[in-house]
């Protein structure tokens, strides 16, 4: 089965399709992980994007559904150099994509596409499985909306509040694309979790008398999350506030700060960040936007910066009891250094 990936700049590449016939469009983004491909594809923060893996072979340990970060794959399509058809554990990626009616392309030069993305920045793309019509794929890519032109959060947030009981501190979570490992990390510390959808109002949050507010990761441009930003504004100074990834950006916007789009984002499990005491942590990341550190108001301190490009990877405000990070400590990249550093800190600050 043929497949073609078209880019908004007019380039297209033909490869081998897997999954089912169909088409999709969205930003083409790359991830540098060597393992954890199922965790990545099921991460709600990728909703609305086509995910390309830089590691040449994907699927060498089959489909690991136990560690998926949501109930199903969230990417619109997947691009890789090669898929493994004979892993030690079944099912294979090919079988899983067929079963779940997903779209994929392999047999393409992912290194060249990654270099192009790093040079030109993230490009809109379209994947057509079951055809090699490159001109049609390019047309779809050019007509695809930019990531800031639509709001994908309602598609991945929970539809109604729910609770995961615990014997410890009561934590209100605003779900913008909640990952399973965040629940695991908080529950391991006996958190009593109340999860609210993206459009929760302050009265919803205060009604449970929480010990803190936690803002999750999520897809898209944080400035589109207008309702969440307004809710967090009303909680400033009333509750300790913690956030991860988009939660970091939402907290900054609620304080009057600003965010901007990165050229090609940070997506991988080997991103080094420097803590303000000089320590370096290796982190997992998945974001295309970041906080403008110079825009943060007085009282805020940037706590982490990316060691590669100097962008903001976390900030805190001790007076308002805000502590947020841009990376994903629950993903155990170091393998568990930032998980303990951050989540233990959450519970210390609300004890």
- Residue 18 phi, psi (nearest 5): -145, 160
Please identify which of the residues 8, 23, 313, 330 carries the catalytic annotation: 330
Q: Counting beta carbons within 10 angstroms of the beta carbon of residue 213, is it exposed (0 to 12), middle (13 to 18) or buried (19 or more)?
A: buried
CA dist 161 → 93, 195, 199, 205, 286 (Å): 33, 5, 11, 10, 26
- The tokens of 93 are what? 């990626």
C-alpha distance from residue 348 to each of 19, 31, 120, 333 (Å): 46, 33, 44, 22
In the block, residue with structure tokens 């991945």: 156
Q: CA–CA separation, 240 vs 350, rounded Å?
A: 7
Distance CA 246, CA 238 (A): 21
The whole-angstrom separation of Cα 222 and Cα 178 is: 15
Provide the 8-state DSSP code for 168. S
Active site residue 235: no
Spot the catalytic one: 266, 287, 328, 332. 328
Q: 């009616």: which residue's tokens?
A: 101
Annotation says 313 is catalytic = no
Structure tokens at 88: 């030690």
Structure tokens at 116: 């192009």
DSSP helix/strand/coil, 224: helix
Q: Would residue 158 show up in a list of annotated catalytic residues for this protein?
A: no
Pick the closest to residue 290 from 237, 253, 254 (CA basis): 253
b/e sequence 308-333, b meaning 16+ C-beta within 10 Å: eeebbbbbbbeebbbbbbbbbbbbbb
99 alpha carbon, distance to own chain's centre: 25
CB 157 within 8 A of CB 197: yes
Distance of CA 30 to the CA centre of its chain: 12
Which entry of 106, 245, 300, 324 is annotated as an active-site residue?
Answer: 245
Catalytic residue set? 245, 328, 330
């Amino acid at each position: 089965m043929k497949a073609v990936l078209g880019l908004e700049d007019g380039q297209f590449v033909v490869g081998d399709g897997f999954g089912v016939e169909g088409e999709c469009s969205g930003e083409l983004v790359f991830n540098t992980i060597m393992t954890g491909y199922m965790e990545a594809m099921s991460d709600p923060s990728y909703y609305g994007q086509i995910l390309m893996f830089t590691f040449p072979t994907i699927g060498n340990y089959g489909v690991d559904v136990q560690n998926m970060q949501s109930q199903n794959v969230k990417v619109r399509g997947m691009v890789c150099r090669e898929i493994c058809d004979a892993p030690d554990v079944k099912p294979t990626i090919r079988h899983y994509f067929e079963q779940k009616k997903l779209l994929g392309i392999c047999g393409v030069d992912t290194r060249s596409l990654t270099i192009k993305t790093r040079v030109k920045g993230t490009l809109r793309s379209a994947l057509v499985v079951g055809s090699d019509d490159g001109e049609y794929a390019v047309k779809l890519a050019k007509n695809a909306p930019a990531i800031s032109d639509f709001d994908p959060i309602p598609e991945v947030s929970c539809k109604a509040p729910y609770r995961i009981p615990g014997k410890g501190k009561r934590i209100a979570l605003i779900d913008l694309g909640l990952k399973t490992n965040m629940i695991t990390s908080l529950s391991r510390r006996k958190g009593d979790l109340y999860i609210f959808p993206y459009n929760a109002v302050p009265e919803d949050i205060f009604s449970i008398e929480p010990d803190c507010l936690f803002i999750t990761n999520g897809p898209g441009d944080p400035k589109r999350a207008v309702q969440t930003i307004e809710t967090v504004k009303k909680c400033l100074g009333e509750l300790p506030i913690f956030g991860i990834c988009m939660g970091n950006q939402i907290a900054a916007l609620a304080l009057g700060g600003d965010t901007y789009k990165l050229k090609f984002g940070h997506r991988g499990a080997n991103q080094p960040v420097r803590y303000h005491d000089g320590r370096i942590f290796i982190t997992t990341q998945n974001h295309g936007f970041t906080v403008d550190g110079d825009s943060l108001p007085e009282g805020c301190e940037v706590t982490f910066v990316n060691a590669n490009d100097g962008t903001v990877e976390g900030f805190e405000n001790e007076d308002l009891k805000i502590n947020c990070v841009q990376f994903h400590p629950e993903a155990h990249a170091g393998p568990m250094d930032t998980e303990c550093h951050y989540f233990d800190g959450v519970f210390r600050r609300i004890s």
